Structures are given as C-alpha cells and as structure tokens.
Structure 1
Amino acid sequence: MKIAVTYENEEVFGHFGHTKQFKLYQVKDGKIISSEIIDTNGSGHGALAGLLKSLGADVLICGGIGQGARLALEEAGIRLFGGVFGSADKAVNDYIEGSLSYDPDARCDHHSKGHGEGHSCSGHDCSEHGCSEHSCSEHSCS
C-alpha cells in the first residue's frame, strides 16, 4: 500500500491544492518499509490527483481540501483522510494502527473568496484575524 501525505517541514501541509511536496510511504504488513519526498513541480488542485494516481497512491492524508480535488481523488480511486495536522510520520503510523484522527468533512472553501471574510480552511475561520496575521503552518491558509 502507498500512502501520500501533503508535506512541508516534517508536517502535514494544510492545503492539498497548494502543496509543493508529498511524502510517499510504502507500507507492507503494517510497517513503513520506505518513504520519499515527491515534488509537485507546481501542479495544482486537479492535476495533483493525477500525479498521486501515477505514483500508485492508495490513500491521501492532508489538511484542507476543496470539493473539486475531492472529486478528482474519488475518480482516481484514492481514499481521502482530510483535516489532519501535525507530524506526517505520526499521521501515517496512526493510520496504520487504525487510530488516525481526521475530519471526513474537512474543506478548504476560499477559492472564490480570497483570504478575507468567508475564508474557511478545514474548520478554521480566518475572518476574525486574517491569514496574514498568523503562521500558515498552523493550518496553512496559503
């Protein structure tokens, strides 16, 4: 089984469509046997689902994700676990153990609204303070 994680600085990156890298884990018999960092080379949103399919990914773990990307992943046969934050390695180990905490309704719905009022990234409402006033590594509003 191959598990892909949106990736930045050892952490699950918070916005699928803007991720610059995936960490791809090869899992066999309930253990990680290898992992590698894959650059997306600027691919965005729908193209990322195709990239993951070409890499043989069975599962994607990410933070926020838009509806179009959700549909593209579904069409590619890739299982989605969104709303995940923190260590990428821990997330994969939790998935393997069946204890991954995720949000099946995680969304990133700001594509037509910009980063102001109405922006919502995986359950975090940025309208109170604006995305420019905090570190995007918390949940990645970028």
Structure 2
Amino acid sequence: MAAMASVVNILGVIFLSHAVYSAYEHSLLPSASIAPTSSAILPRSLDPNINLPIDITLETLFSAFLLCVGVVLSSPGLKPIQWNVWAGGLERSKEAREVKEVGVGGGNPYAGLEERAGFLDIRGKRKEFSDWIKQDAGSEKS
C-alpha cells in the first residue's frame, strides 16, 4: 500500500509540474496576451488576464486529485475514537506499563485524575445513596 501511495504521489507531482510548465509557456505566447472578455461574476481585480486551454486546467485538476489520493493512501491508520478503547489498549501493552522515568508511571494515563484528592467519585456516591435507600426502605417495613 505504501509503494502504491508513493507511485501515485510521484505521478501527481509529475503531472502538476507539467501543468505548471505548460501554463507558463502558454502565458508567453503572443495570442495569450489578448485579454479575455471580462466576467460579470468576478470583480475586475480577480479576473484572469490569460485564458488557459482546457487541457492545462484538466491536467492541473487531475494532478491535484492524484496528490490528494496519494496523501490519503500514505497516511497512517486511524486511532480509535473511543477513549476507553484507547486507554484499555495502553493498559494492556507492556511498553505503556513500564516506568521509564522517576515519577512517571505507566498504564492508564487518566488514573492520576481519578485518584486525586477532591475528585468526586460518582460511582461511590451512587452506591452510598442506593445503600441508604435500601436501609431506609428496610427500616420502614419493620
């Protein structure tokens, strides 16, 4: 896949270079210096001074498309979007669990956030509440 992406990128660069050179050569022709009719859509400052032939325009668009495809094909694999999948993968890998520096632990990178002082433990509070409700319901039946 990487070899194919490199070939597509090289072809895109070759086609783009040829299109740029062709556009430059076309701009030097005496017939290209004749100003085209002004467009009613574009303002005068954005109107082009040179009419490029359709083959140069198509070659430029084709080379840009090839380069986009080549970049997409050569990009690395996507990472999982779900944080629990990513953190679980880190916890399971041996490299992530090893301590490489003093004070820098391995495993889940969010474990420090969950164990910090003053952090509200929602699951613990929910369990306390359900125990309190069960205890209160048990005392009313008696």
**TM-score (normalised: structure 1):** 0.16
The structure carrying a bigger strand percent of its residues is 1
Which of structures 1 and 2 has the bigger CA Rg?
Answer: 2
The structure carrying a bigger helix percent of its residues is 2
**TM-score (normalised: structure 2):** 0.16
